[in-house]
A = this chain, B = another copy of it.
Amino acid sequence: MALFGTVDAISKDDDAWLAQAVQLAVENVAAGGGPFGAIVVHDGEVVASGVNRVTHDLDPTAHAEVVAIRAACQALGTFSLAGSMLYSSCEPCPLCLAAALWSRVDRVVFAADRDDAARGGFDDRAFYDLFGSDRATWPTSVRNLRVEGCESPFDAWLARPDRTPY
């Protein structure tokens, strides 16, 4: 596994950053969007924010944290947010938590949780439950068919000395 940050100290600013994410979430509901907001903080400054834009953008991946991570990478000119922190109005769902891992942020701090989201009618908790269960029991079929040549992309990748890992 690539190295990523281990900063775990409570910041005196955590409450303020979370309040900002919650405020974004409330405002997004007023604007017709989903009740989620997030910000990315780097060196004590907000470098990007995001709100849930799934229905607005017709994009099921446009969750607040994903939107904020994408925007932060654009703002900083990098695909790695190592050294940054992600604050979210609600517990990141598996999509958003994995996005946070891939983005290499040092810390994730959230306010409400999957049970609050479930009260709002959202599947965050249901999807966490699926991730903790045997895929064979999922309502969505997830199946592996190991077709001939399926390893060839990785062979090609490893054969490129100029590849950019991430």
Copies in the complex: 2
Q: Min CB distance, A32 to chain B, in Å?
A: 8
Contact among B110, B140, B143 with A144 in the assembled complex (CB-CB below 8 Å):
B110
| C-alpha spacing A81/B145, complex, angstroms | 22
Assess whether A93 is interfacial by the CB under 8 Å rule.
yes
Distance (Å) between the CB of A152 and the closest chain B CB? 6
- If A28-B153, A60-B79, A94-B101 are given as contacts, then 4 extra A-B residue pairs at C-beta distance below 8 Å, sorted by A number, are A4-B140, A29-B156, A94-B97, A102-B123
29 contacts between A and B (CB under 8 A): A6-B139, A8-B143, A15-B147, A22-B149, A22-B153, A25-B153, A26-B153, A29-B163, A35-B156, A35-B157, A36-B153, A54-B79, A58-B77, A59-B70, A59-B79, A60-B79, A60-B80, A60-B104, A60-B166, A61-B99, A61-B103, A95-B102, A101-B140, A108-B141, A108-B142, A110-B144, A110-B145, A112-B153, A120-B158
